[in-house]
């Protein structure tokens, strides 16, 4: 028999790992802070309590379902226990809710409302601790922590880092960066994944909206937006659309209404990156040096290599990330094109990524005190700015990117999916090596959800071996296997965030179980709407080489588009 009775209704078990999953299948969303299906079970928040006849009250997340169990999800006692739990959290919580950065998506607020908590019966014992503002990407407010440990498990189980963890016991228990240091002083790579799972305002991305408003309202400043690929399939979620809805046109209309002078597509720079990086890879391959070639476009991955695998720095591509290529190119080229002095041109990048805030501040990308990218805001921040301006996103008529830097091929757009960089590089290198037009555009072999994927392609009598990784713990596993001689590759793509940039730390929090798949599919759909699909066919990128950059990998390209990370 495989039947469990939930609130007296029969439910068939189908391999669910715990009662919470089985109950969710029946359409009941039990409250929880600490249960995340991608992470290990911790069972601390005591909100997902259920009563099992003959056994009493248990945590459903840590109880496996058994045939014949009779389970009740909202008895009077359970409802009261849940309310008490929430009230205890609130008594220990800095409840400055209207001004909290997570106010629009706080699980503590949501649950307090959902569970009918209308008063807190316990006296506050909160002793305020200082806010940790030391990171360029995230803010940590210990006064809002509910000790669910989701951040610590995300950082160690998915990213393999452990930059934050539990410390102390009993009343003093806290989740802290290692050795009592600040978050900006430990090996945090700024990926922001902990801010996605944090149910309250204890971990938030660091906003930069005020600086952008200033630039937009200053008449002397020419402000351009550089929009990363993955923003277009998530910004709509902030305005009630389903995950993965492609809302490029409305986003561009909103940016124009906000006052941006030009709106450009980072996918243009991604096409440029593919040409530079694909050429660099082919050179390394024929010389047999610095292989495997590791991608370098994910700033969290680059920082991870610097901290934990410095011997691999030389294997990273010398290409700057598309965003940083774009910043350097725009700051160099735009003043001539629009006849405005360089110091009055401000580049604002709009990205799904919190680590891009760190990347833009790296000394490699600042010249004479002026950064190539002036400000970095995430999808979440763009959504807030659109709301603050009162712009009715859903009613906007779509607009287009501006030329020439808004022109891209689908190869540049799919960069935002895990495997997208590899697929773009394949479209470029396979055609170059075979010297004839590609027979097929889609390299479905490199797509998929698995955290470590591999694919080989035979070309001109030799085989090129690719690996695609997302999540830094997976990267660590792959590096260990390569070092042990258990596998060998020519080209390895690494993105820190699970499934790539579509799930970056600056994307809106989405509680729909398959939101990552929907965004991935959305980005492929967005690509299909383009006319051109190979980076080498991007006519605007080619014109840029002819009129201005010179040769691929040449002196000007080296100066603007490449860098060297040092240990
Ligand atoms: Fe990504 Fe990128 S694809 S890292 O996720 O390579 O942020 O979207 O902009 O730079 O293009 C982020 C997204 C980018 C860069 C591109 C790459
Ligand atoms: Fe860990 Fe990423 Fe959070 Fe830093 S930003 S603490 S690396 S999960």
Beta strands 491-495 and 366-367 are unpaired
- Judgement on whether residues 12 and 154 belong to the same structural domain of the protein: no
User: How far is 16 from 61, CA to CA, in rounded Å?
Assistant: 11
Tell me what pLDDT residue 145 has. 93
Please give the average per-residue pLDDT across 555-567, as a whole number. 92
Residue 94 lies in a domain: yes
**Dihedrals phi, psi of 218, to nearest 5 degrees:** -85, 115
pTM over 0.80: yes
Question: Residue 296 class from Cβ within 10 Å (0-12 exposed, 13-18 middle, 19+ buried)?
Answer: buried
Task: Identify whether the C-beta of residue 285 lies closer than 8 Å to the C-beta of residue 539.
Answer: no
Tell me what pLDDT residue 40 has. 87
- Judgement on whether residues 428 and 481 belong to the same structural domain of the protein: yes
- Judgement on whether residues 193 and 313 belong to the same structural domain of the protein: no
- Judgement on whether residues 256 and 177 belong to the same structural domain of the protein: no
Q: State pLDDT tens for residues 290-325.
A: 999 999 999 999 999 999 999 999 999 999 999 999
**Distance from Cα 501 to the centre of ligand 1, integer Å:** 6
Sheet containing 262-265: which strands, arranged edge to edge?
262-265, 222-227, 345-351, 375-378
**Dihedrals phi, psi of 47, to nearest 5 degrees:** -100, -25
Tell me what pLDDT residue 140 has. 97
Structure tokens at 419: 């495997």
Catalytic (active site) residue 53 = no
Give the DSSP H or E segment for 431. Answer: helix 420-434
Residue 360 lies in a domain: yes
Q: State pLDDT tens for residues 174-205.
A: 888 988 899 999 999 999 999 999 999 999 99
The residue behind tokens 């969710």 is 24
Residue 79 lies in a domain: no
How is residue 562 annotated by DSSP? B
Tell me what pLDDT residue 513 has. 87
The residue nearest atom 2 of ligand 2, judged by CA position, is 191
Provide the domain count of the chain. 3
Residue 356 lies in a domain: yes
Could you tell me the pLDDT band of residue 567, with boundaries at 50, 70 and 90?
A: low
Beta strands 70-72 and 3-6 are parallel
The residue behind tokens 């287009």 is 400
- Judgement on whether residues 186 and 223 belong to the same structural domain of the protein: no
Catalytic (active site) residue 462 = no
Q: Show the CA angle centred on residue 58, arms to residues 57 and 63, nearest 5°.
A: 145
Task: Identify whether the C-beta of residue 185 lies closer than 8 Å to the C-beta of residue 137.
Answer: no
**Distance from Cα 323 to the centre of ligand 1, integer Å:** 7
Q: State pLDDT tens for residues 470-522.
A: 999 999 999 999 999 999 999 999 999 999 999 999 999 998 989 999 999 99
Structure tokens at 380: 């979440």
User: How far is 561 from 117, CA to CA, in rounded Å?
Assistant: 55
- Judgement on whether residues 214 and 192 belong to the same structural domain of the protein: no
Could you tell me the pLDDT band of residue 1, with boundaries at 50, 70 and 90?
A: confident
Residue 80 lies in a domain: no
pLDDT at residue 169 above 80? no
pLDDT at residue 3 above 70? yes
Task: Measure the N-to-C terminal CA separation of the chain; round to a whole number of Å.
Answer: 60
Domain boundary among 176, 205, 234: 205
User: How far is 538 from 271, CA to CA, in rounded Å?
Assistant: 7
User: How far is 54 from 61, CA to CA, in rounded Å?
Assistant: 19
Tell me what pLDDT residue 170 has. 75
Task: Report the percentage of the chain scoring pLDDT > 90.
Answer: 89
pLDDT at residue 134 above 80? yes
Q: Name which residue leads in pLDDT, 566 or 7.
A: 7
Q: Name which residue leads in pLDDT, 166 or 344.
A: 344
Tell me what pLDDT residue 45 has. 86
The SS3 assignment for 535 reads: helix
- Which atom of ligand 2 is nearest to 162's Cα? 1
Domain of residue 185, residue span: 85-205
User: How far is 516 from 9, CA to CA, in rounded Å?
Assistant: 32
- Judgement on whether residues 261 and 236 belong to the same structural domain of the protein: yes
Domain boundary among 34, 54, 74: 74
Catalytic (active site) residue 501 = yes
The residue nearest atom 5 of ligand 1, judged by CA position, is 501
Tell me what pLDDT residue 162 has. 95
**Distance from Cα 413 to the centre of ligand 1, integer Å:** 9
Pocket of ligand 2 (CB under 6 A): 138, 154-155, 159, 161, 163-164, 188-194
pLDDT at residue 21 above 90? yes
Q: Show the CA angle centred on residue 252, arms to residues 421 and 264, nearest 5°.
A: 50
Query: Could you tell me where the DSSP H helices lie in 446-538?
Result: 472-483, 515-528
User: How far is 302 from 310, CA to CA, in rounded Å?
Assistant: 10
Q: What is the ipTM of this complex?
A: 0.94
Please give the average per-residue pLDDT across 392-418, as a whole number. 97
The SS3 assignment for 229 reads: helix
Nearest to 552 by CA among 281, 230, 191, 355: 281
Catalytic residue of the set 206, 356, 357, 534: 356
CATH label of the domain that carries residue 48: 3.10.20.740
Structure tokens at 377: 């805001």
Q: State pLDDT tens for residues 259-299.
A: 999 999 999 999 999 999 999 999 999 999 999 999 999 99
**Dihedrals phi, psi of 372, to nearest 5 degrees:** -65, -40
**Dihedrals phi, psi of 237, to nearest 5 degrees:** -60, -30
Q: State pLDDT tens for residues 213-264.
A: 999 999 999 999 999 999 999 999 999 999 999 999 999 999 999 999 999 9
In 60-177, the DSSP E strands lie at 70-72, 138-140, 164-167, 174-177
Pocket of ligand 1 (CB under 6 A): 228-230, 266, 270, 297-298, 321-323, 351-353, 356, 415-416, 421, 500-501, 504
- Other Cβ atoms closer than 10 A to 2: 13
Q: How high does pLDDT run on average in the chain?
A: 95
- Judgement on whether residues 288 and 146 belong to the same structural domain of the protein: no
- Judgement on whether residues 367 and 314 belong to the same structural domain of the protein: yes
Question: Which residues have a Cβ under 8 Å from the Cβ of 518 and sit 6 or more positions away?
Answer: 242, 243, 244, 512
Nearest to 500 by CA among 402, 421, 412: 421
User: How far is 327 from 335, CA to CA, in rounded Å?
Assistant: 13
């Amino acid at each position: 028999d495989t039947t469990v009775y939930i609130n007296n209704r029969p439910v068939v078990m189908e391999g669910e790992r715990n009662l919470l999953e089985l109950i969710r299948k029946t359409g009941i969303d039990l409250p929880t802070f600490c249960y995340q299906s991608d992470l290990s079970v911790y069972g601390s928040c005591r909100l997902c309590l259920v009563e099992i006849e003959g056994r009493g009250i248990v945590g459903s997340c840590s109880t496996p379902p058994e045939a014949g169990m009779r389970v009740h999800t909202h008895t009077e006692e359970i409802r009261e226990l849940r309310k008490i739990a929430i009230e205890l959290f609130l008594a220990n919580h800095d409840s400055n809710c209207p001004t909290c950065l997570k106010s629009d998506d706080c699980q503590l607020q949501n649950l307090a409302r959902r569970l009918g908590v209308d008063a807190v019966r316990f006296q506050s014992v909160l002793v305020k601790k200082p806010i940790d503002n030391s990171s360029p990407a995230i803010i940590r407010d210990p006064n809002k922590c509910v000790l669910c440990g989701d951040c610590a498990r995300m950082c160690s189980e998915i990213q393999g880092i452990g930059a934050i963890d539990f410390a102390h016991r009993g009343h003093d228990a806290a989740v802290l960066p290692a050795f009592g240091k600040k978050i900006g002083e430990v090996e945090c790579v700024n990926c922001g994944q902990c801010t996605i799972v944090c149910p309250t305002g204890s971990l938030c991305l660091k906003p930069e909206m005020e600086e952008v408003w200033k630039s937009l309202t200053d008449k002397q400043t020419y402000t351009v937006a550089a929009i990363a690929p993955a923003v277009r399939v998530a910004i709509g979620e902030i305005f009630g659309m389903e995950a993965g809805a492609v809302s490029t046109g409305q986003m561009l209309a909103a940016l124009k209404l906000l006052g941006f002078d030009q709106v450009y597509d980072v996918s243009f720079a991604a096409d440029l990156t593919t040409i530079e990086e694909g050429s660099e890879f082919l050179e390394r391959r024929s010389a047999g040096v610095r292989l495997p070639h590791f991608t370098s476009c994910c700033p969290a991955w680059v920082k991870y290599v610097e901290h934990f695998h410095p011997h691999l720095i030389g294997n990273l591509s010398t290409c700057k990330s598309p965003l940083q290529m774009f910043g350097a190119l725009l700051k160099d080229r735009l003043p001539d094109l629009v006849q405005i002095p360089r110091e009055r041109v401000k580049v604002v990048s709009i990205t799904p990524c919190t680590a891009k805030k760190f990347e833009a501040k790296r000394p490699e990308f600042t010249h004479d005190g002026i950064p190539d990218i002036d400000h970095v805001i995430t999808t979440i921040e763009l959504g807030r700015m659109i709301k603050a301006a009162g712009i009715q996103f859903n009613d906007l008529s779509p607009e287009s990117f501006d030329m020439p830097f808004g022109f891209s091929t689908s190869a540049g757009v799919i960069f935002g999916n895990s495997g997208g960089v590899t697929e773009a590089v394949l479209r470029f290198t396979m055609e170059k090596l075979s010297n004839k037009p590609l027979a097929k555009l889609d390299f479905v072999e490199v797509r998929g959800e698995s955290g470590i994927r591999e694919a080989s392609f035979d070309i001109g009598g030799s085989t090129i071996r690719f690996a695609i990784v997302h999540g830094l713990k997976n990267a660590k596993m792959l590096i260990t296997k390569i070092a042990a001689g258990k596998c060998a590759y020519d080209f390895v793509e690494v993105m820190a965030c699970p499934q790539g940039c579509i799930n970056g730390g600056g994307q809106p929090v989405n509680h729909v179980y398959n939101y990552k798949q929907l965004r991935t599919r959305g980005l492929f759909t967005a690509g299909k709407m383009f006319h051109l699909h190979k980076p080498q066919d991007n006519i605007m990128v080619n014109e840029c080489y002819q009129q201005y950059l010179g040769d691929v990998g040449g002196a000007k390209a080296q100066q603007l588009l490449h860098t060297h990370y040092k240990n």
